[in-house]
Structure 1
Amino acid sequence: PRRFGPYAARGYLRAKNEEAYNHVFKNHYPDEERSAARPLKTSPCFERMKNLGAVFGSVYGWERPNWFASQDYALSESDLNKPNALLNKNHSPPLEDGRIVEKNSFRRSNYFEFVGAECRHVQEHVGLLDMSAFAKCSVTGRNAESWLNGLVANIVPKTVGRIGLCHMLSKNGGVRSEFTIYKRSQNNYYLVFAGAQERHDWDYLKKLAPSDGSVIMQKLTTQIGVLVLAGPKSRKVLQKLTDTDLGNDNFKWLSGKRIDIGYAQAEALRVNFIGELGWELHHPIEMQNYIFDALMAAGAEHQIRPFGIRAMDSMRLEKSYRLIPRELSIEYSALESGLDRFVKLDKEQDFIGKQALLSWQRRGFKYRFVTLEVHGTRDADARGSEGLYKKSRLVGRATSGGYGFRTSKSLALGLVEAELAVIGTDLEIEILGERYLATVIEESPYDPDNERLRA
């Protein structure tokens, strides 16, 4: 099975195989990070992030900051409170200096408050996130636009500098892949997609590409780094480093420009996955540390701090942003997953899965996407795959869940039987054996009108 990517040499595979065997009879925790064969793939700012207290996770071989701890933070034996059992390991591997900083748990763990502080800081000030693990490629050639339009359900951006969120459907009308597509110039497109999906998505792109040379694709993942600058003060920080006017009239939401950042350059895309004013800065990876240092220096007066993937995930829940392969999968139709505004059934060009989706639509959809507020939680939140009930009847499942620190709500995303996907409907969700009231609420409980994104 193609469990890993082409980065996995025999030595890597041996180490991971031995690690898996070693864990056969141990408890497996959510958010657990395994240490074998790490670190392997690191972005240039890895050491800088580590020195700032990053606690790393791994995706597709890449090291990414999950959250940040203070330099002297450590868990004691009493903090860990290990069960009195033979196989009682309940923490992530120690850091290089021997400190244990993360306790594994099915409930809210010790990192909960740290992640909350990161979310609130981004909301109030400005934060910096390393997303270099994003998969990236270019699509060029005389037929690039028409080929992409036949691939995805949305209309590919027509205007140079515009950005579109586009989905490739499966043949049955489900969602196979998600791409952010940025039009750099005529018949020149830049695609960004999930790092964990790189091998899967790249395989499909290659298999579906024409063989006549009219479309040329180049994988760019390891050539381009990505730093996400986000928060209400992000414009003030970035404007200190560039002569490009970052004001709303010149640099609108969902657009991109090539800008100078001090001595370096980057494609600045005004889009992010957390719902705050900000930019993704896609840059030559060899310039990353220069850009990182420049941003941290320019942001010092605005209290800039790094933040991690777990804060990002909390904030995306508050915006009801879907994720591959949770809310978006081949199990549910694209329209059941609530992608109506991204699926253009009336566009001139046919696309993969369109006829199957139309047929599914005529038959009627069984499920609909919902955002839920979970009431009465104390020390545990939904994580995904929890059952959703109406009285005693199973009516759907949660696909993601967690705590929204900006809204002070325990939240879940999920799919439920269509007739129950009505604002105000009360359901129950089962979390660790207990039932909690869960109410269907409006999408995007944080900043529903996107005023902060458009600020």
Structure 2
Amino acid sequence: MSKTFPQTAPAVIIGGGIIGMSTLYHLAHRGVPAVLIERRKIASGTTWHAAGIVGQLRDSTAQTELGKYTARLFRDLEEETGQGTGYKQNGTINISLSDVRHEQLLRTHDHAARMGIPSRMLSPEEVKEHWPALVIDDVQSGFFVPSNGQVNPLDVTIALSKGARQKGAQVFEETTVEKLEIRDGKVVGVVTDKGTIATGQVLIAGGMWSHLFGKSHGITVPLHAAEHFYVVTEPVEGLPSTQPILNIMEERNYWKEDAGKILIGGFEAQGKAWAKDGIPDDFEFDELPFDMEHVEEDLMRMFARMPSLENMGIQTFFNGPESFTPDGRPYMGPVPDIKGVFLATGMNSNGILNSGGTGLTMAEWMIDGMPSRSMAPLLAVRAHPFQANTRYNQERAAESVGFHYGIAWAGRQVHSARGVRRVPLHNEFKAVGAVMAERIGWEVPMYYDADNPAWSDAPSLRWKPWSERVKQECLAARDNAVLLDQSMYAKILVQGPDAVRALNHVSGAQMDVEVGTSVYTQFLNTNGGIEADVTVTRIAPQSFMVVTGHPSQMRDQFWLKSNADPSWNFEVFDATSGYCLLTLHGPKSRAILQSLSTDDVSNEAFPFGAAREMDVAHARGWVIRRSFLGELGYEMMFPTEFTQGVYEALLEAGEPHGLRHMGMFAMNACRIEKGFRHFGHDIAEDDTPYETGLGFAVKLDKEDDFLGKARLAQQKADEGPAYKHRMVSIRVPGLTAEEGPYLIHNEPIWKGGEIVGHVTSGDWGFRVEAMVGLATIEKDGGAPKAWIDEGGFEVQIAGKMYPIEAQLGPFYDPKGEIMRG
């Protein structure tokens, strides 16, 4: 008996893979009986052929908690629904074949302890006990997580479907979604070949189909299908069903038991994009031709690692498509410009292990308006409009396949789709030795080396091939002057009669300031958490220029517009391409600037935080007295066509003062010394300004109400006890720049035999000649200053403990006298 096709639904999910089905399940369990539409059969696209590996450990606490939730969900689903899932906790073993990878495993082991996930390091002999046929001559160590496991993806998807339908959800297979019905910027329906469903919420969870479907509606969904290969052996006598999963990152492959056989898959450094002319309409549970030539090198590594494979025989050579994104991360959450449309797609071969947490999170987003955990790295609104370009996605997806494995380090570079976005001085910087990295399409100077302007591919977690160059740039900022190009940063013009009201509503600081004032502030959410970290300059009575990091170009505009009252009269204009942003820093910067301008730039006439429209060389533009390095500094914003002329004048004026170029590596090292927070590393949606030492930027007494004010007022009143955690600057005595080990990210902080926090960012500080970092620490009942000042903290780096100094203020220029002088 056929079901009646619904005319209305509280929400419609497009795509019947495990992500869409998990969201359907979690919505239903929250009392929202949504409708899921699948073009063919459920799980018939990518889900059915996934390897089904379930891992829990992620880079952040929030994502790790979702990974742990997914594992629990798979364990409990069978009892709830009566449908088997094939879930078993075999554990996973990662092995190292080099010193760098060994150190990474030690650091991951430390991180696992902080996340509450039991793990242990293995010797090569212990690795061989689990995988007796493995060649271990070059194996340095193993990292074992017993609670990880594997699952049957098709069975899990069916179980989620059954659990959802038991709560009133509906699933319609063999149904084609033709388009979304959009009215006045809101989704109002989903048009299918069986009729139209009226709804105010739609989730696009169509995997590799999502890119072109989104593009047809003006929605940027950056992803593309790429081929994924694995082989399955003949049955292996004596192979235990509890065989741990094996990951060999440096050889780019994974090994797992599969119904008495061994399944071996890989993520080659350079993959193959698939379906460049579109996915065939009849694609369903399909395999692709196995390209033996393409994976020959990977197969040879597998056979060399386990020579007995030659005698086992290969039963299956499999190739199936999966969707990959430009940065290797999924896209989740609401899309900009069309209210009610959400994304959960682009899982980069991690759909199974992401599925439970993704479904839970999407249900919260669609019901509560925001997730209960920070999802900053995965936000759909991080996508930039140019990333709707299909050719760009095809080229990058092939390389994204390799993001999974290999060595992750600061010098790891992408090679595909390069040169997409260039600052106005790109060629000039290349001519003086700029070594570029790609950041969201931008070519960004990371350091300068005229003698060897090329990346080294020799990975290091300690002294880098470019460290000496970075040192010279940092010392030049301290002693003379440096020129840094930040033109890739977003410049967002907010203007109109209610511009000040809109900005005040999302900002902790007071935006109603005099024209010619620059304000540092955070955009906040209703919990007082930080959604953006920006500077805002009032350039006219009804005009403000917001400057934010280049990754946040789209996100910050979305936050401002989506939280505004519809009756407010203002507009948001993306002026990023219209202006350069050249920044001048160091004790000689004032003399250089003064030589190019008739305006008085003395400290009395032009104090810290001031902004002036002024003459520089033969141009006129805005100059703002700020510095992310902690030095005397100026940010100079000119219309793009004046960039080259101003640049040439700066070089000429700066030559007698020792002016040199600076890249982003040096800027990052300097800002860590100065204790300046970086959005996305040190601060995010779950952190408030008071917890992270940014309470000075909150003005509770301003007349306009603002997001999160109530919680922040309570934190301010209660002070220490109300702070869930505090951010501190740390220094590790006794370490050297050459030998390390380095503070990087996620190193646990200990006190009194307990883990009390972790490092959020770290590097060698060339100006203070010490290993420095920022860390978040916490204590039951609050983390008061007295508890911090009493000391006794240690940091755990690659398995070893090091005493540290911790303080609320920075180690470089703690009173801010240099920057404000």
Q: TM-score, normalised by structure 1?
A: 0.90
2:600 maps to amino acid: D
Partner of 1:46: 426
Partner of 2:741: 380
Q: Which has the higher contact order (CA 8 A, sep 6+)?
A: 1
2:413 maps to amino acid: E
Is 1:398–2:759 an aligned residue pair?
yes
Return the match for 2:722 from 364, 367, 380. Answer: 364
Deviation at 1:207, TM superposition (A): 1.6
Answer whether contact 1:102 1:110 (CA < 8 A) is retained: no
Distance of 2:707 and 2:769 partners within structure 1: 40
Distance of 1:65 and 1:123 partners within structure 2: 20
Deviation at 1:266, TM superposition (A): 1.7
The change in CA–CA distance for 1:157 and 1:298 in structure 2 (over 3 A counts) is: farther
Answer whether contact 1:426 1:440 (CA < 8 A) is retained: no
Deviation at 1:171, TM superposition (A): 1.8
Partner of 1:432: 798
Distance of 1:72 and 1:248 partners within structure 2: 38
Q: Which runs of 4+ in 1 moved over 3 A?
A: 22-25, 99-103, 209-213, 356-363
> What are the within-5 Å matches in structure 2 for residues 131-280 of structure 1?
131-212=486-567, 214-280=569-635
Answer whether contact 1:385 1:397 (CA < 8 A) is retained: yes
Distance of 2:612 and 2:539 partners within structure 1: 8
Distance of 1:317 and 1:24 partners within structure 2: 28
Deviation at 1:242, TM superposition (A): 1.3
Return the match for 2:393 from 3, 13, 16. Answer: 13
Deviation at 1:442, TM superposition (A): 4.9
| 2:788 aligned counterpart, secondary structure | coil
Partner of 1:80: none
Deviation at 1:407, TM superposition (A): 0.9
Is 1:60–2:429 an aligned residue pair?
no
2:804 maps to amino acid: A
2:729 maps to amino acid: T
Deviation at 1:106, TM superposition (A): 2.0
**Greater shift in the superposed pair: 426-435 or 49-58:** 426-435
Partner of 1:415: 776
Answer whether contact 2:407 2:459 (CA < 8 A) is retained: no
The change in CA–CA distance for 1:442 and 1:174 in structure 2 (over 3 A counts) is: closer
2:815 maps to amino acid: D
Distance of 2:465 and 2:512 partners within structure 1: 43
Deviations 1:315-346 (A, max 9, x none): 11121111102221122232111112111223
> Percent sequence identity over matched residues?
29
Answer whether contact 1:102 1:111 (CA < 8 A) is retained: no
**Greater shift in the superposed pair: 210-219 or 137-146:** 210-219
Partner of 2:172: none
Distance of 2:808 and 2:507 partners within structure 1: 27
**Greater shift in the superposed pair: 299-308 or 445-454:** 445-454
Answer whether contact 2:484 2:662 (CA < 8 A) is retained: yes
Query: Structure 2: which 5+ residue stretches go unaligned?
Result: 1-330, 332-379
Deviations 1:178-229 (A, max 9, x none): 1201111212211111111112111112222344461122111111110011
The number of aligned residues is 430
Partner of 1:309: 664
Distance of 1:353 and 1:100 partners within structure 2: 44
**Greater shift in the superposed pair: 383-392 or 310-319:** 383-392
Answer whether contact 1:132 1:226 (CA < 8 A) is retained: yes
Answer whether contact 1:274 1:312 (CA < 8 A) is retained: yes
Deviations 1:402-437 (A, max 9, x none): 111111111111111214752351211122232211
1:343 maps to amino acid: V
1:370 maps to amino acid: V
Query: Structure 1: which 5+ residue stretches go unaligned?
Result: 74-94
Answer whether contact 2:498 2:568 (CA < 8 A) is retained: no
The change in CA–CA distance for 1:405 and 1:200 in structure 2 (over 3 A counts) is: same
| 2:396 aligned counterpart, secondary structure | helix
**Greater shift in the superposed pair: 51-60 or 265-274:** 51-60
Answer whether contact 1:373 1:441 (CA < 8 A) is retained: no
1:440 maps to amino acid: A
Partner of 2:646: 291
**Greater shift in the superposed pair: 19-28 or 277-286:** 19-28
More helix by percentage: 2
Structure whose CA Rg is larger: 2
Deviation at 1:104, TM superposition (A): 2.5
> What are the within-5 Å matches in structure 2 for residues 45-124 of structure 1?
45-69=425-449, 71-73=450-452, 100-101=455-456, 103-124=458-479
| 1:58 aligned counterpart, secondary structure | strand
Return the match for 2:408 from 18, 23, 28. Answer: 28
The change in CA–CA distance for 1:152 and 1:300 in structure 2 (over 3 A counts) is: same
| 1:21 aligned counterpart, secondary structure | helix
Distance of 2:404 and 2:437 partners within structure 1: 21
Distance of 1:199 and 1:434 partners within structure 2: 41
Distance of 1:27 and 1:343 partners within structure 2: 41
Deviations 1:259-307 (A, max 9, x none): 1122212210011100111211101112111111110011111121100
Answer whether contact 1:224 1:282 (CA < 8 A) is retained: yes
Answer whether contact 2:411 2:459 (CA < 8 A) is retained: yes
Answer whether contact 1:424 1:441 (CA < 8 A) is retained: no
1:406 maps to amino acid: R
**Greater shift in the superposed pair: 50-59 or 442-451:** 442-451
The change in CA–CA distance for 1:147 and 1:227 in structure 2 (over 3 A counts) is: same
Answer whether contact 1:108 1:380 (CA < 8 A) is retained: no
Distance of 2:438 and 2:405 partners within structure 1: 22
RMSD: 1.9
Partner of 1:76: none
Deviations 1:62-85 (A, max 9, x none): 11111111x333xxxxxxxxxxxx
Deviation at 1:25, TM superposition (A): 3.5
Distance of 1:305 and 1:181 partners within structure 2: 28
Distance of 1:337 and 1:100 partners within structure 2: 35
2:409 maps to amino acid: Y
The change in CA–CA distance for 1:425 and 1:162 in structure 2 (over 3 A counts) is: same
